[in-house]
Structure formats: structure tokens, C-alpha cells
Amino acid sequence: MSATQPVQPVQPSGAQPKVTEREARQVAEAAREQDWRKPSFAKELFLGRFRLDLIHPHPLPADEDVRRGEAFLARLREFCETSIDGARIEREAKIPDETVRGLKELGALGMKIDPKYGGLGLTQVYYNKALALVGSVSPAIGALLSAHQSIGVPQPLKMFGTQEQKDAYLPRCATTAISAFLLTEPDVGSDPARLATTAVPDGDDYVLDGVKLWTTNGVVADLLVVMARVPKSENHRGGITAFVVEADSPGITVEHRNAFMGLRGLENGVTRFHRVRVPAGQRIGAEGAGLKIALTTLNTGRLSLPAMCVGAGKWCLKIAREWSGVREQWGRPVAQHEAVGAKISFIAATTFALEAVVDLASQMADEDRNDIRIEAALAKLYGSEMACLMADELVQIRGGRGFETADSLAARGERAVPAEQMLRDLRINRIFEGSTEIMHLLIAREAVDAHLSVAGDLIDPDKALGDKAKATARAAGFYARWLPKLATGPGQVPGTYRAFHPGGHPDLSTHLRYVERSARKLARSTFYAMSRWQGRMETKQGFLGRIVDIGAELFAMSAACVRAEHLRATGAHGREAYQLADAFCEQSRLRVEELFGRLWSNTDDLDRKVVAGVLSGTYAWLEEGVLDPSGEGPWIADATPGPSTQKNVHRPIR
């Protein structure tokens, strides 16, 4: 390639539908929940309304839920201590079959399944505590259990399945059958409008053809949730549709078990469907409802990932505390040096806040009084980003030992601390279940929903003048009521939220006043941006990402303060909780101020120019002087439907 030759776009293989960007957005828009039937703390926050009453006093689980949850955690802890060898899983890149069988006997496959179907019926709070516990021993096992219950067969059937489907599959999922969720394809990630796997109606069946990629649990699964496109035809509305599929059905081939930089025990693969017959009774919901089912499932399913990030933060804090107290540098423990101490403070404060976010969102999910779609998405986004930072700081605190593997440390007589493994294992969380970039866009869309509901037709080029006139009237009424409320609020009144300033404790009320003021500032910034860019707002991904990141910090500050006050009121480490919440809020406020500054002072425009130059080959000379060790082959594997030519590596665990 010459220095000026532009990069040619990748031509996808297979039978992906050709769709425009607008068509792809329309598919995503149709799949999202359109209505807000319940209050949402985070939605109100983005609108500049700090509804502390929605999260304080901190919601609490029922006594029976606590008893049942604690009893299972005790059994799970014993199992983790005696029957899970995390080092072996890392070394062999496989979860031993006897470990999986032990988890089945323990009931771990049915943590979230109703007892009437043979499950444990744990609340979201205790399900997340269990994942944090088991994930601290082996993140691969945490991923297996989470993929099975959070996005696999149990959750969509619980929400959308028929009674016959629940009776047939939930008892199996609770005790013996591992499930997987199959959406992604070799050339389809977060743009499902191009989904190529088809489900063609044939009598009382559907015939599935296509290839699915990154099928977590797919290598060992007994049951699959498969998303496929039903062609529109007479008596069939068509569209992306969800199915429960037996993993050993004729025509299904697991062609490859993928290997990754982390989560080496993950049973993730490539699955091909060739003329797989699926009875219509195994369709979940209506035709065309597949994406809505997937997104609704993820509203609470996303909480499992930040729960395991909480577990990672707790472990990072433990290792940082123990190591930094014994490792001496220049005559004193490294923890007493400010450069290292700042990292330890960040890990401690962030772990406290992240646990506050996850527990609060989980308890809200259990109570079902609030719409937590934004809260769960913020928890996933914030947890995955902050956990990676905490693990990276731990590696830095450990120095060369942080970069050394646990096996190598043990071989030369030192404690086998898998810090580098933790960093590798956590990295996927910024991609799993919606990458950080996609989460920014998803949350931003929900954050501006109120604006689009009243003024969306004004910036839609396809709307008629009559529609725009009606939108103008709606917008005038809405903004006449809303904008004046953004000028002043409780955050400007000294003494507000005084319940968060008990005697002898740090003053958290000042942080809540900051959150209230910042929420109004965030709403004003969003409104100004929409007025300025209008229809081009959706292209300002850098701006939208910063808006969401500010909202995430404000949500985390709120949760941290509410949790600290709850712990103080119940006498459980209240003084220490207030100290951690105070430290976190001070750190968070610095990040918020930086993000506010970068809303309007940034390099977004310049970055776009540089990207254009990179893609056109203008800077290809900069790549000279190195060799590319990559192998040969296409950027995207061929996914053309047809019979498999590979050996089936599917291995169900009995």
C-alpha cells in the first residue's frame, strides 16, 4: 500500500442485510422501552431534578430474603474454599467438570429461579453477593454463572416465557442445564439491524441457519437463547425473534472454542446452525420482539457484571493493604509514601462507592418500585471502568511483582498473588454486555428521552410541517415549565440535607448539595447542546460520553452518601463509612469538574480531522520502521450459511 492509498472498507462475508445508519438506529429505537411507568432516580438526575427521596432512606431486603441469602452465601463460601482451585483453572484454561457438577449440586445454577421450579429464589442483592464471592476465587466461574442466569434462558423465560416454557425449562436450568445467549455474529455486534442468522417458518417449525460468535457458555451449554431474523411473509410479521434451542439439536456445530487474554476458563465459542428445526412452541414472545426481550433482560442482568467488579475491588484493597504495610522503601512502608497512599485511598473509596451503587440498584430492582434501566446501565459502565483502574493501580503498587504471574512468584518462594491475572480478567468487562462506547450512547439516549418526546419531531427531517408545528407547541409548554427550575435549587441553600451531617462525622451534606447543583448544570448543558446541534446531536459522541460520565459520577456520589448514612444509622461501621464516602466524593468532584470543562473545551473536532487523515493514508509514513507480526487471513471470518466442515467441540457437562 502506498503512503497515500486510502484504507478500503472491509467487505463483510455471509448474508448480512444491507442497512443504512438511519435504518440501524430505527431498529434500535424500536427495541428500547418507550414508556416510563415508574419513577427513575437517574432519569430525573439527567433532567436536573435531584430526587433524593427515591433512594433515601436506603431500601432494605425482607428478613426472610436475608436469612435465605446468608445461608446460601455460607454454603457457597465453604464450597469456594474447598472445591474451587482458581490457579488450576487459570493454568489449564478450563473449569474442571467436577467443579461444575459441585456447583450444580449446590444449587448455584438456580440462584435466581423461583423455588417452585427447583431454584433458590435469591433476591438480586444476594445473587450479586454470590457472584462477587465466587468471582473473587475464579472470574471464569463468575462469568459462567452470570451468563447462564443473567442473560441465558432463565431470565427471558421468567419475564416473557409462556407457562409451558417455564414448566419445561426452568427446572432443568435450576439444577442441571447450563444455558447460553447467542446474539453476536462475526460481522454483527451492537448493530443488530444487520443480523444474518435466519429463522424461516416451515409448518409448525422454524428452520435456523447462520453463525454466532462469542457464545459465552456455548461450548458446554445444554440450552441456548438464539436471536434470529424471521423473514416477513403471509401470517408472519417477521423481525428479530428469540428462541429457546436445545444445544444438541441436529445441525448445530460448535466449531471453535475461543481463547482470550483473560478469563481463560471461559467456555466461549463459535456456533453454526444449519437447517436446525425449532418448534414454534420454543419461540419466546412474538415474532419481532427479540431485541426488546434482550434489552429488557439486560435491564437487571447488567447488574451481575458490576457485582463481580465489586468483588475485584475488595480483593485489590486487601492485597494493597497487606502488601503496602510490609514492603519498605526508604526506611518506611510504601503505604506511608504519598504517591502510593493516594492509590490505596482511590481503591478503598472507589470500592465503597461501587458497592453502594450495586447494592442500591439491586435492592431497587428487588422492590420493583422504580425503573432502573439507567441505574443498571450506569452501574455496568462505571463498575467496569473503575474496576480496571483499581486493578491497574494494584499492579503499580506491587511493582515488578504485579507484572509477574502467580505461578512464577510461587516458584521462587513468594506469595502467589495473581494481580496481573486480575487486570487481564477485568479488561473484558469494558466490552461485555455493551462496550463502554455503546453504553455511553445507550444511556445518553435514555437521558434525553424527555427532550425527544416533546421536541424530537422538530429535528426529524422526515416529519411533515404539521408534525413540526405540533412539536413546537409541545416543546414551548414543556420548556416554559422546566427551564426556570434549573436556575436555583436546594443545593444552593446552606444546611440542606442536614441529616447527612451528624455530629462527629464528615459533612456529606455538602456533597449532596454539590450533586444537586451539578445535576441542574448537567441538564442545562444538555439542553444547550441540543439547541446548538439539533439533529447532529447524535453524532457528538464525545460530548454525549462526557454527559453520561458526569451522570455516573453523580449517581455514585449519591449512592455512597446514602449507604454511609444507612450504615451509620444501623451502627455498622458508620464512622468509617462516612470517611470513605467523604473521600470518594472529594475524588469524584475533581473528575466531574474536569468532565464539565471538557464538554466545551476538547479536541473532538481536531480528532475527527486526524482520523480522516489516518484512514486516507495521509500518515501511513508514520507506520514505517516496524514489522507486523499478525498472521494471514481476513479481518472478519466467513459466516456464509451452510453445513459445517469443522469438528463439533460441544461438550456438555454431565
* Cβ(276)–Cβ(251) below 8 Å: yes
For residue 253, report the phi and psi dihedrals to the nearest 5 degrees.
Answer: -130, 125
d(CA 122, CA 233): 43
H or E element in which residue 386 lies: helix 373-398
Q: Considering the candidates 90, 393, 433, 446, report the single residue annotated as catalytic.
A: 433
Strand partners, 283: 243
Exposed e or buried b per residue across 512-541, where buried means at least 16 C-beta atoms within 10 angstroms of its C-beta:
bbbbbbbbbbbbebbbebbeeeeeebeebe
Q: Is cis: bond before 57, omega within 30 of 0?
A: yes
Contact residues for 488 (Cβ-Cβ < 8 A; gap 6+): none
* Cβ(651)–Cβ(38) below 8 Å: no
Helix (H, G, I), strand (E, B) or coil at 374: helix
433 tagged catalytic: yes
d(CA 576, CA 582): 10
d(CA 113, CA 125): 14
Helix (H, G, I), strand (E, B) or coil at 342: helix
d(CA 396, CA 346): 13
Q: Helices 338-367 and 574-600 meet at what angle, rounded to 10?
A: 100
Report, in angstroms and rounded to the nearest whole number, the Rg of the chain calculated over CA atoms.
26
Number of Cα atoms under 13 Å in the Cβ half of residue 491: 20
3-state secondary structure string across 410-437? HHCCCCCCCHHHHHHHHHHHHCCCCCHH
643: left (phi over 0), alpha (psi -120 to 50) or beta: beta
Strand partners, 252: 273
Cell numbers for 556: 455514585
* Cβ(374)–Cβ(140) below 8 Å: no
How far separated are the first and last CA of the chain, in Å rounded? 53
Helices (H), 60-153: 63-83, 86-92, 97-106, 124-137, 139-146
- Residue owning grid cell 482511590: 346
Q: What's the burial of 311, exposed, middle or buried (CB within 10 Å: 0-12/13-18/19+)?
A: buried
d(CA 332, CA 337): 8
C-alpha pair distances (Å), 583 with each of 183, 506, 507, 560, 570: 41, 10, 11, 10, 21
DSSP letter at 629 equals: -
Contact residues for 163 (Cβ-Cβ < 8 A; gap 6+): none
Q: Helices 63-83 and 97-106 meet at what angle, rounded to 10?
A: 160
Contact residues for 111 (Cβ-Cβ < 8 A; gap 6+): 72, 119, 120, 122, 126, 127, 130, 145, 149
Strand partners, 278: 206
d(CA 485, CA 48): 8
Residues with a catalytic annotation lie at 433
